[in-house]
Copies of this chain bind each other. A is one copy, B any other.
Amino acid sequence: MTDAFQNSQSQVILWLLEELDIEYNVNFFERITSGTQKNRAPPSLKETHPLGKSPQLITPEGRVIIERSAIAKYLINKYDTTGKFKINPTDSENDAIKEEELLSFGGNSLAPMIMIQMVFKYLTAGSPFFVRPLLGGIASMVNKAFLGKEIDSMMQWLEDGMKGKTYFMNTENPTLIDFMYMWYIDFALVISISDFSKYPNIKSWHDKCKDRDAWKRSLEKGNGYNMNIEM
């Protein structure tokens, strides 16, 4: 795997910062480029947080926040004073419980399935040639019996829920869930989705997000949103 996911989980935070149109500084940290720790986060990230993970948000008061959803919630609560990027408080269907349901679904149901699929692909590609067919066989079996169907059914549920909506919470502008799902859907596109046209509502949401000026500006300010995996 080479340069995979370079800083990509942080990209959605840059997108949100651009949408909110606030001033910020980005400190770039390059992943380690060689040796046994190749592609891992550099030790310098530990200077600001013991876990040494990216992204980290350091507030003007010096508070260090980790985890994308916590960073996004902090930024929206603090800087979106007009409610432009918040859910509609009068929409009883797309309420805070629905928001939590989708937030958790992306991270705790969809992403783990894609991650296991990635581990199988990586294991197969990275193993010695004489066991590769065997591992490939196991991976393909697990995929057919379980993972593939599971991911299809999850994507279909998202697709059905998006019917008639521009953004996930039926708002005019993206909200927390859209910022978070940009990563999940791109992750699924790289690893799991062979035919994106099966999910036209999700595809049109994806196009709409990527067409936003703030997303484009965030790409220019980031250090590379590389979702290609070379194995």
Contacts and interface: CB of A to CB of B under 8 A. Distances in A.
B70 A97 contact: yes
A50 B160 contact: yes
A91 interface: no
A84 interface: no
A219 interface: no
Contacts of A69: 100, 103-104, 108
Is chain A's interface secondary structure helix, strand, loop, or mixed overall? Answer: helix
A1 interface: no
Interface size range on A against B: 35 or more
A86 interface: no
Interface string A34-50: 00100010000000001
A128 B134 CA distance: 10
Contacts of A116: 115-116, 119
A191 interface: no
Interface string A76-98: 01000000000000000000111
A2 interface: no
Contacts of A97: 65, 70, 73-74, 77
A104 B67 contact: yes
A24 interface: no
Interface string A145-170: 11000000110110010000000000
Contacts of A52: 153
B51 A154 contact: yes
Given A70-B97, A116-B115, A157 B51 contact: yes
A161 to B, nearest CB: 10
B108 A107 contact: yes
A125 interface: no
Contacts of A128: 134
A25 to B, nearest CB: 20
